[in-house]
């Protein structure tokens, strides 16, 4: 995740760079509690549906996992789905999680965050609720596969604001909804939304099947220009909206290029030091995923690479146990190839989202096809680019039969 607003602050009110310590990194854990969901989103990486799925963690298994996560000392836990509120013991799990982690967040489609549910979310003391919206009105409903989803999600936003819960909108940028970005930022301002998260499309689950809908590079650049403008207003004019982006770490390089055009060398060097300390893509290092079946992955999109299962092993043991893919992902510099391997900014970006390279080429270290920076911008010789080929009609994960 690229914290655009935070790094914009570094240009306005610089603070010293903090580097990671030498010890093992405790990851932010994104935990998909259930695959069940009342919506049917076109880019859903878990390929959820409104049915019960077999094999999900029992209540006791979930509580044991929470105990281990708490003892391990993870910095943050994000409860996700499917729709996490569709899990019958969701509130018991959330209550048990609250004293065990510093930062507890809920990632939801928002349609069930209302009335008594919203009261319970507030009562548990979630630090943050992220609600997914993929456009205004009917556009959102088309992406989410259910009429009325936009109105219901907006009710969820308002229910959070009414209860003083920090709330954000989560938006996945595609060719079909990029025009809605200005209106969504306006919606944030009108509703007093605290945070805006722009996610780039990842080719996993239905997001892989529909990868032909990924935003063209020029659209991504235009979207970033808009977000940078808004983040600048937040930093310079005290109009707060915390803007973050996800799943395309080249955003950090694009922002650095913007800074080069507007700030002096010393300030840009300071920003670059902060970005290098962050290091870009954090799959397998600063982020981890537990899926609905208890399988542990390097991030939420690597469903076909499993480190182990919390039903039979502790998460903390799996994460520190020398898994070969985790070791490779944690190597700096990473063994990147092609354009990413030659890039002058790979220490900032970290090579971006490896699952996209894997989905297109079968090689997790090939270049990320979603890098929207030009050859000149990243200091590489002009050459052929990896092009986005259509989905081949077969998911890499045989369990994903609801495509």
Task: Give the interface with ligand SF4 as residue ranges (CB under 6 A).
Answer: 250, 253, 339-340, 343, 345-346, 349, 351-352, 367-368, 371, 373, 378
CB of 375 to ligand SF4, least distance (A): 9
| Cα 228 to Cα 241: distance, rounded to the nearest angstrom | 12
State the nearest-atom distance from the C-beta of 283 to ligand SF4, in Å: 13
Q: Which residue has the tokens 């605290």?
A: 194
Question: Closest separation between CB of residue 347 and ligand SF4, Å?
Answer: 9
Q: Yes or no: say if 356 and 202 are a contact pair by the CB < 8 Å rule.
A: yes
Residue number, 316 or 328, with CB nearest to ligand SF4: 328
Q: How far is the CB of 385 from ligand SF4 (least distance, A)?
A: 10
Minimum separation from the CB atom of position 244 to ligand SF4 (A)? 18
Residue 130 neighbours by CB under 8 Å, 6+ apart? 78, 105, 106, 107, 108, 167, 168, 169, 170, 195, 197
Measured from the CB of residue 388, what is the shortest distance to ligand SF4 in angstroms?
A: 14
Of the two residues 44 and 373, which places its CB atom closer to ligand SF4 in the complex?
373
- Output 242 or 367, the one with its CB closest to ligand SF4: 367
Is residue 364 a contact partner of residue 357, using CB atoms and an 8 Å limit?
yes
Is residue 335 a contact partner of residue 365, using CB atoms and an 8 Å limit?
Answer: yes
DSSP string, 1-46: -B-HHHHHHHHHS-----PPPSSPPPPEEEEE--SB-S---TT-TT
Q: How many CB atoms lie within 10 A of CB 229?
A: 12
Task: Please say which residue, 355 or 373, places its beta carbon nearer to ligand SF4.
Answer: 373
Nearest-approach distance from CB 372 to ligand SF4, in angstroms: 8
What is the rounded CA–CA span in Å between residue 77 and residue 70?
10
Whose Cβ is closer to ligand SF4: residue 163's or residue 337's?
Answer: 337
Residue nearer to ligand SF4 on the CB measure, 323 or 368: 368
Nearest to ligand SF4 of 118, 256 (CB atom): 256
As given in the structure block, the two tokens for residue 224 are 């970033």
| For ligand SF4, the closer CB: 206 or 211 | 211
Q: In this structure, are residues 134 and 143 in contact, taking their beta carbons and an 8 Å threshold? A: yes
- How far apart CA 182 and CA 178 sit, in angstroms, is 9
Task: Mark 349-388 as b/e (b = at least 16 C-beta within 10 Å).
Answer: bbbbbbbbbbbbbeebbbbbbbbbbeeebbebeeeeebee
Tokens 């010293």 belong to residue: 16
Q: How far is the CB of 264 from ligand SF4 (least distance, A)?
A: 23
């Amino acid at each position: 995740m690229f914290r655009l607003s935070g790094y914009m602050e570094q240009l306005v009110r610089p603070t010293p760079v903090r580097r990671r310590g030498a010890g093992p990194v405790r990851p932010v854990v994104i935990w998909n509690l259930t695959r069940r969901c009342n919506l049917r989103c076109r880019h859903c990486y878990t390929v959820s549906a409104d049915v019960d799925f077999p094999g999900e963690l029992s209540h006791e298994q979930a509580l044991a996992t929470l105990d281990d996560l708490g003892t391990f000392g993870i910095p943050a836990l994000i409860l996700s789905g499917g729709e996490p509120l569709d899990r019958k013991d969701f509130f018991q799990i959330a209550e048990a999680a609250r004293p065990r982690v510093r930062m507890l967040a809920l990632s939801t489609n928002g349609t069930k965050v209302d009335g008594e549910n919203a009261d319970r979310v507030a009562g548990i003391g979630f630090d943050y609720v992220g609600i997914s919206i993929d456009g205004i009105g009917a556009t959102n409903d088309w992406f989410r596969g259910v009429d009325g989803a936009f109105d219901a999600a907006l009710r969820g936003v308002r229910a959070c604001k009414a209860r003083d819960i920090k709330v954000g909108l989560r938006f996945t940028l595609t060719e079909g909804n990029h025009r809605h970005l200005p209106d969504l930022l306006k919606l944030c301002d009108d509703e007093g939304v605290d945070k805006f998260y722009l996610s780039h499309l990842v080719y996993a689950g239905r997001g892989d099947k529909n990868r032909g809908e990924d935003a063209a590079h020029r659209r991504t650049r235009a979207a970033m220009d808009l977000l940078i403008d808004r983040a600048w207003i937040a930093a310079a004019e005290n109009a707060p909206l915390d803007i973050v982006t996800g799943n395309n770490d080249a955003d950090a390089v694009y922002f650095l290029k913007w800074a080069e055009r507007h700030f002096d060398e010393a300030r840009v060097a300071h920003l670059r030091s902060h970005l290098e300390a962050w290091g870009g893509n954090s799959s397998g290092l600063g982020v981890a995923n537990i899926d609905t079946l208890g399988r542990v992955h390097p991030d939420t999109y690597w469903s076909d690479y499993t480190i182990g299962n919390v039903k039979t092993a502790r998460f903390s043991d799996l994460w520190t146990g020398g898994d070969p893919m985790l070791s490779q992902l944690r190597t700096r510099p990473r063994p990147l190839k092609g354009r990413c391997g030659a890039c002058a900014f790979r220490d900032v970006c970290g090579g971006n989202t490896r699952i996209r390279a894997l989905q297109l080429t079968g090689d997790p270290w090939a270049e990320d096809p979603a890098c929207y920076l030009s050859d000149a911008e990243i200091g590489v010789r002009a050459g052929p680019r990896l092009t986005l080929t259509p989905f081949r009609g077969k998911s890499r994960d045989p369990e994903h039969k609801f495509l």
